[in-house]
Structures are given as C-alpha cells and as structure tokens.
C-alpha cells in the first residue's frame, strides 16, 4: 500500500466534514466555559455574596417554628435561592458552549455519527479504540490537568492558611470576604492552565485531523479522475465543444451582411439591414483557423469580404458577439457599409 504523504484535497475535507469528522478540541470549550464563568462570577460577586448569606441564614428564620410546618417552605426557599444563583451561570454556559463550537467548526448538523451500525458495537474495535493514540492523549491531558490543579490548590491553600484559620472568628459577614482572595487566585490560575492546555490541544487536533485525512499519490490521482473525468474522455468533450462552437460560428457567418478581415488572422461577421433602422451588429468573430473558415463560408455564400485591419482589430478586442458596433467605430464601419452597398449595386 502506497504511503500517505499528500495533503488532503478540498473534496476529501468536505466529505469528512459531511461525516462529522472535523478538527475540534473539547479543551477549547472547557477553557471558554471556565473563562466565562470566572468573568460572570467576578461581575456578579456582590449580589452573589448577599444571596449566599441569605441562603445560609434562611433556616434560622424558622428556627422557633415546628419543623413539620416549615420544612416545605424552607426547602422551596433553598431551591429558589439555588436556582437564582445558578441561572446566570447556566445561561452563560449555554451561550458560550454553542459559540465555542461554532467558532471551531461553524454550523454543522450531521446524522452520520449516530447512525446505527454493527461495526460500532464490535468488541474488538472497541478494544482498539480504548488503546488508540487519541484516547491515550486524552487520558494524558486529563491526568495533567488533575495534577496541575491539585498542585495549584495545594499551593494556594498553603499560602492562605493564616486567613483560613481565622474564618471561625469572622462571622457570617466575613466568611465569603475571607475566602474571596484565595478563590480569585485559584480561579485565575486554573483559567490560565485551561487556556494554555486548550491552545496546545487545538493545534494538536488540527494536526491529527489533517494527518488522518492524508492521501497517497494514487488516491489523489483517482480523485482527480473521478472529479475531472478521464483525460481521454475530457479531451473528446473539449473537441466536441469546439466543434459545436465552430458550427455555431459558421451558421452565424452565413447570416452576415459583410465579413471584415485582418486579412487572415481575424474575421468579423457583421449584420446590417438599412430597412431595419438599427446599428450594425457583430454576429460572429474568430481568429486564425476560425477566421479562415469564416472567410471560406462567406465566399461560398456570396457574402462580401472586406479587408480593414484597424476596424477588424478594434471590433475583435472591444465588441462581444450579438452587440452593436459602438459609436467610436461608426465612421470606419460606415465606410465598409458604403462599399457593401456599391458591391451589391455592381452585382445587379
């Protein structure tokens, strides 16, 4: 089997995308969510503190009342406070999660990955996947994150031991304020770790994705043949197209009033009827072989042929087929038409 050394073609990348195979890093999502949650909590810290204090003191408001009578009210109050605290974070998580996916892979909706297939439940394939390079890398990243976060927690907690030991004496007003510096330091460091790992993983996933889709030279050639067609067939198609264009040009030439030449390199078929009260129109034009064939057809049909090098060049460069001769070329064109009129008068 030939070695896969070629970069994947745009078609290969499109086909892979349609199957849901895209370069995507889950760590980018995790990092984005971590940053978003940290920023949200930082902005909402004062009201969060007040709500947390209210949550902690809520049961004390019913301390003197019978438990059975107030238990439902206390539970509802706690649940409401928790929902109130978590609602902004849940909203941010939803928006940022969708945005992080969209930034990485754009809009993508495919059913291929969830289609039921027997090979997906093959135990041998599952065993191979468990020990694949991708899963080993994922395990390594997870282990690295756990180790780094554990070290961070240890270091930050060690440095904050003194204020932590005073929390029992701080009262309910000072608990969260005492924890804020430590939590902020921990959150910032964890966020930086997540961002660094996410950046490295994003480029790694891109590299792996391209590597998995690499093609052999034979695959590239085969794809080219499938998309562009066999060279022989393509050549025949091109030849057929040229013949169709040639036939159309000759048919147009047969309808011309005059053919202006250069004398052999260019030929312009012009249509003009005085009774139509219209400007002269370019029916067809050609160069080299096509021009010579147009002249031959004009001779066969008895169409006047006039050599006018400047006019032939100007019309060939400036005027498309089925367009009228522009005003700046009317003077030399009128000269040709006068000659055509004299030509026909002499014929009669």
Q: Which pLDDT score, from 0 to 100, does residue 175 have? A: 65
Residues 47 and 196 in one domain: yes
Q: What share of the chain is helix, strand, coil (3-state, %, to 5)?
A: 75, 5, 20
Euclidean distance between CA atoms 160 and 165, whole angstroms: 9
Q: Which two tokens stand for residue 248?
A: 């159309």
pLDDT at 128 over 70: no
CATH number of 329's domain: 3.40.1690.10
Q: Where a domain ends, among 209, 225, 241?
A: 225
Mean pLDDT of 61-89: 74
- Dihedral sign, CA of 237, 243, 247, 252? positive
Question: Does the pLDDT of residue 232 top 70, yes or no?
Answer: no
Tell me, yes or no, whether 335 and 308 share the same domain: yes
What pLDDT is attached to residue 172? 59
- pLDDT above 70 for 150: yes
pLDDT recorded at residue 277: 64
Residue 1, pLDDT > 60, answer no
**Is residue 345 scored above 80 in pLDDT?**
no
Whether residue 45 contacts residue 180, with contact meaning beta carbons closer than 8 Å, is answered with: yes
* Weakest mean pLDDT among 101-110, 198-207, 320-329: 101-110
Report whether the peptide linkage leading into residue 263 is cis, meaning its omega lies within 30 degrees of zero: yes
> How far, in Å, CA of 320 to CA of 316, rounded?
8
25, part of any domain? yes
Residue 221 and residue 79 share a domain: yes
| pLDDT confidence of residue 174 | 62
Q: Are 282 and 191 in the same domain?
A: no
Q: Are residues 246 and 276 both part of a single domain?
A: yes
190 in the same domain as 103: yes
Considering the domain architecture, whether residues 155 and 21 belong to the same structural domain is answered as: yes
Q: Per-residue pLDDT averaged across 330-343, rounded?
A: 84
Higher pLDDT: 330 or 174? It is 330
Res. 214: pLDDT tops 70 = yes
Question: Does some domain include residue 5?
Answer: no
146 and 212 housed in the same domain: yes
The residue among 195, 194, 167 whose CA lies nearest residue 181 is 167
Amino acid 344: pLDDT: 80
Last residue of a domain, one of 195, 225, 255: 225
**What's the confidence (pLDDT) of residue 64?**
67
Mean pLDDT of all residues in 69-83 = 74
Of 225, 249, 268, the last residue of a domain is 225
Distance in angstroms (rounded) separating the CA atoms of residues 274 and 83: 87
pLDDT in tens, 11-62: 888 888 888 788 888 888 888 998 898 888 888 877 877 777 777 776 676 6
pLDDT at 95: 92
Q: Which residues pair with 215 in a beta bridge?
A: 6
Banded model confidence at residue 8, pLDDT cuts 50, 70, 90: confident
> Could you tell me if 334 and 253 lie in one domain?
yes
What integer is the mean pLDDT of 246-274? 86
In terms of domains, do 84 and 205 share one?
Answer: yes
Asked whether the predicted pLDDT for residue 104 surpasses 80, the reply is yes
Rounded to the nearest integer, the mean pLDDT of the chain is 80
In a domain, 1, yes or no: no
Give the pLDDT score at 183: 80
Asked if the structure places residue 4 within a domain, the reply is no
Q: Give 116's pLDDT tier (boundaries 50, 70, 90).
A: low
Tally of structural domains, the chain: 2
Tell whether 75 and 202 lie within a shared domain.
Answer: yes
Domain that includes residue 303, residue range: 233-347
Question: Same domain, yes or no, for 65 and 199?
Answer: yes
Q: Determine what percent of the chain is predicted with pLDDT higher than 70.
A: 80
Find tokens 């301390």 and name the residue: 63
Residue 3 placed within a domain: no
Give a yes or no: residue 140 inside a domain.
yes
């Amino acid at each position: 089997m030939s070695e896969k050394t070629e970069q994947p073609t745009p078609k290969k990348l499109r086909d892979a995308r349609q199957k849901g195979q895209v370069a995507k890093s889950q760590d980018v999502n995790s990092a984005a969510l971590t940053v978003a949650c940290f920023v949200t909590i930082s902005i909402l810290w004062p009201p969060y503190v007040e709500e947390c204090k209210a949550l902690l003191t809520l049961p004390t408001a019913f301390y003197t009342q019978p438990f059975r009578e107030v238990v439902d009210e206390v539970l509802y109050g706690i649940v409401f406070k928790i929902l109130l605290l978590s609602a902004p974070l849940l909203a941010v998580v939803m928006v940022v999660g969708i945005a992080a996916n969209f930034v990485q892979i754009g809009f993508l909706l495919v059913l291929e990955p969830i289609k039921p297939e027997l090979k997906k439940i093959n135990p041998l394939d599952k065993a191979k996947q468990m020990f694949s390079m991708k899963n080993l890398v994922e395990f390594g990243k997870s282990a690295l994150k756990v180790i780094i976060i554990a070290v961070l927690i240890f270091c930050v907690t060690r440095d904050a031991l003194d204020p932590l030991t005073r929390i029992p004496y701080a009262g309910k007003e000072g608990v969260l304020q005492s924890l804020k510096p430590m939590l902020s330091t921990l959150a910032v460091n964890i966020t930086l770790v997540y961002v660094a790992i996410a950046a490295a993983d994003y480029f790694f996933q891109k590299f792996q994705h391209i590597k998995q889709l690499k093609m052999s030279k034979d695959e590239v050639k085969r794809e080219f043949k499938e998309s562009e067609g066999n060279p022989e067939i393509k050549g025949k198609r091109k030849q057929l197209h040229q013949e169709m264009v040639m036939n159309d040009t000759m048919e147009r030439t047969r309808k011309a009033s005059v053919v202006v030449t250069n004398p052999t390199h260019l030929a312009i078929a012009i249509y003009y009827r005085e009774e139509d009260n219209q400007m002269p129109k370019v029916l067809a034009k050609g160069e080299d072989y096509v021009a010579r064939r147009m002249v031959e057809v004009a001779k066969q049909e008895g169409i006047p042929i006039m050599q006018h090098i400047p006019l032939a060049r100007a019309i060939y460069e400036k005027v498309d087929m089925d367009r009228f001769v522009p005003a700046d070329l009317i003077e030399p064109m009128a000269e040709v038409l006068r000659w055509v009129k004299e030509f026909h008068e002499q014929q009669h």
